[in-house]
Structure 1
Amino acid sequence: MKETELRTVANLNIESISSSTVVDFSRILGGGNNRLFKAVTENCKEFLVKEYFPDDRKRLQREYGALEFLNKSGFDDVPTPYFADETQNYAIYSFEKGRIADAKAFTSIEIDKVVCFLNKLQKTKPENENRARFLDALFASRSLDEYSDTILFKFGKFEESLKSKEIHPKVTKLAETYQLSEIVRGTIERLHKNSATKKLFKPIKESDMRLSPVDFGPHNIIMRNNDEPCFIDFEYFGWDDPVKIVANFLLHEGSKDIPREQKLYFLNRFKEQSSLPLHVIERIDIAVQLAALDWISILLWGIAPDRVASKKFLDADLNIENYLDKQIHKIVIRIDDLQKKSIEDQ
């Protein structure tokens, strides 16, 4: 939809919601593949208008449904949903004032609030109407075996890209320098064969599944002006293996600057306070190891020619050389961290 068309239809709905005329409607930064706009009314109310990227991931349905449910369930640390139009693929939410959480400045206070949010969310079980109400999360899994398959799928996409004529020499050099298949496939295989861990790869019960925002880290937390967190971005929301979200928070690219002691505090606090069954919680440490491989695979897939081309399409000014240098640097750091931990465990 053209921006002028979106402005027209969104303004009509905002004016109906606020009983006031929209006096400003402007594009704001962020949103990834989506387009974000801030609308301000004559009576000084502010709204976020979000136009979703048109793909098969049902982003609007997931996010709007999640926020509707959470608001009705007493969560005051998420945006308020006001209106959704699935035909036009946009929604209207509260505009949350504040700043993106600073991972480097995370203290035990912020960590406690993150743990509280997760534990409250995970108290919703897939029973009765709750199960049918929500889709499975994007890349959901019911076992660490399935999680491994998802990681290998992403890594496989990168391996396929190495055969492309469009592959960048810097990516080829990375693949030649590191034994990437041994790092990803080899580590997963060893975890499966280890007598102490292989039993943890078995499927969990349907009743052990929990709701997950999936893309969960400091980059998706707005610290409101009262220093309380507001959790955003529920486009991948749905049912998932509950230990994955814990592991993903720790290993997420957006979490890399959280101090190590705070990451350990997060892990211990979650285990202490979680309402999850013990047979689910005991799988967290393996999930963390898999999440490290998952993020290596995500970053590798991100430098495949088609993914780089899509980045260039979204940002015509993108310097591909600089972009690849930054992404490869991230990958190398993660590989070095993984290999260092492997040596320490020997």
Structure 2
Amino acid sequence: KSYVLKHYPDQLVDNRPRLETEFKALQMLCEHGIKNVPQPIEKNYDLNLGLYEWINGKKVDKPIVGDLDQAVQFAEKLYILSKQIDGNHIGIASEACLSAYELVSQIENRYSRLNAQSNEHMELAIFLEEVFDPLWKKVKNESTSLWPEESRMQNLPRNKQTLSSSDFGFHNCVKASDGSLTFLDFDYFGWDDPVKLTADFIWHPAMNLNVELEKKWNAAMLKLFSGDPYFEERLNAAMPLYGMRWALIVLNEFLPELAQKRRDADGSKEYDLEKRQRIQFKKASQYCERVKNTVFRLTFA
């Protein structure tokens, strides 16, 4: 039998207890009969190490309908589990967005950190000022006014939240030879608004969903969370905001500490930061274009 040894960042570097979060999440999922996750074997908090069952499989580069069905089923299992357990021992997911206010604050914090680097990068300064800013003003006003009052400023009530791996998608799973998916990476696991799970699945740059799969996912989530009368309203209000959030996330290469992390993770001496920044710029611009179309559809729906 093969195993994988996962090393987590020290909490002095990243204060989130990622080893504890992932190990306990996987223990709980396995105990409740959720099979398509790796089995946790052993942990060492002093060394920031977790030992897990090794899962054979390939990356999902071009998702098909069968893959999407499995992702929907997994989201459903997490939601059913969130209704069955006393979840007080589980914290909120990393970067959870339980209100419009929290989501807007996260976006503006990311913006401030990038803006602080704009003196060093003329292209970044121009993008933020001429592309991002005007669109952000419009999106922020439109989306917050459309957001249901219940969770505009206050956190969404726990009974409307779901358990979430927080970075859920085909980029974090492997596909076995029989077509079955195993879902990985639960170090950001916790409670969150199902709207975030739904939106991030669509917006994440590694997802590559075609129009058919995107519609299918959307319809499945509307059905799954139909017990919440404001879910669809909240999703419509949130979609452009999450697009703007991703437009900034893909520019992390401009933040010195995160660029260094990427360089370390890449492991190759040929890591070309300027080339990476150009690629990410293109992605950020594409996000803004997609958001414009989303806002247009919402406004004139």
After TM superposition, the score normalised by the length of structure 2 is 0.88
Q: Is the 8 A contact 1:126 1:206 kept in 2?
A: no
Task: Look up the SS of the partner of 1:50 in the other structure.
Answer: strand
Question: Which residue of structure 2 lines up, in the alignment, with residue 328 of structure 1?
Answer: 281
Query: What pairs with 1:148-227 in structure 2 (closer than 5 Å)?
Result: 148-163=104-119, 167-175=120-128, 178-193=130-145, 196-197=146-147, 199=149, 201-202=151-152, 203=154, 204-227=156-179
Match of 1:124 among 56, 61, 81: 81
Count of aligned pairs: 292
Q: Deviations over 1:69-112 (max 9, x none)?
A: 0000111111110101111110111100010112x3x2322211
- The 1:275/1:130 distance shift into structure 2, 3 A limit, reads farther
- Over aligned residue pairs, what C-alpha RMSD do you find? 2.2
Alpha-carbon spacing, 1:231–1:127, altered in 2? closer, same or farther (3 Å): closer
Separation in 1, partners of 2:148, 2:224: 26
Q: Say if 1:126 and 1:209, in contact at 8 Å, map to a contact too.
A: no
Q: Distance in 2 between matches of 1:127 and 1:119?
A: 13
Whichever residue aligns with residue 246 of structure 2, its letter is W
AA matched with 2:180: E
- Partner residue of 1:233? 185
- Counterpart amino acid of 1:311? R
Whichever residue aligns with residue 326 of structure 1, its letter is I
In the alignment, is the contact (CA less than 8 A) between 1:155 and 1:301 conserved in 2?
no
Match of 1:11 in 2: none
Aligned to 1:285: 236
Deviations 1:28-80 (A, max 9, x none): xxxxxxxxxxxxxxxxx111111112221111011111100000011111111
Aligned ranges for residues 1-346 of structure 1 at < 5 Å? 45-54=1-10, 55-102=14-61, 104=62, 106-125=63-82, 129-132=86-89, 134-163=90-119, 167-175=120-128, 178-193=130-145, 196-197=146-147, 199=149, 201-202=151-152, 203=154, 204-255=156-207, 257-274=208-225, 276-314=227-265, 315=267, 316-343=269-296, 345-346=299-300
Contact 1:79 1:96 in 2 (8 A): yes
Aligned partner of 1:26 in structure 2 is none
Rg larger in structure? 1
Query: Helix, strand or coil for the counterpart of 2:254?
Result: coil
Q: After superposition, what is the alpha-carbon deviation per residue over 1:309-333, rounded to whole angstroms, capped at 9, x for unaligned?
A: 4433554431112111111111111
Mapped to 2, the partners of 1:200 and 1:268 lie a distance apart of: 23
**Judging changes above 3 Å, is the alpha-carbon distance between structure 1 residues 91 and 306 closer, same or farther for their aligned structure 2 residues?**
closer
> 1 CA distance for matches of 2:286 and 2:115?
20
Q: From the superposition, tell whether residues 343 and 279 of structure 1 become closer, same or farther in structure 2 (CA, over 3 Å).
A: closer
Q: Give yes or no for contact 1:60–1:91 (8 Å, CA) kept in 2.
A: yes
SS at match of 1:123: helix
Return closer, same or farther for 1:300/1:50 CA change in 2, 3 Å cut-off: same
Amino acid at match of 1:331: A
Q: Secondary structure at the match of 2:80?
A: coil
Q: Which moved more, 1:298-307 or 1:154-163?
A: 298-307
Question: What letter corresponds to residue 199 of structure 1 in structure 2?
Answer: E
- Normalized against structure 1, the TM-score is what? 0.77
SS of alignment partner, residue 118 of structure 1: helix
Amino acid of the structure 1 residue aligned with 2:213: Q
Q: Aligned partners of 2:194, 2:296: CA distance in 1, in Å? A: 29
Structure with higher RCO (Cα < 8 A, 6+ apart): 2
Gap runs ≥5 in structure 2 = none
Q: Secondary structure at the match of 2:81?
A: coil
CA distance in 2: counterparts of 1:275 and 1:81, whole angstroms: 33
CA, structure 1 residues 192+279, in 2 after alignment: closer, same or farther (shift >3 Å)?
Answer: closer
Change (3 A) 1:309 1:94: closer
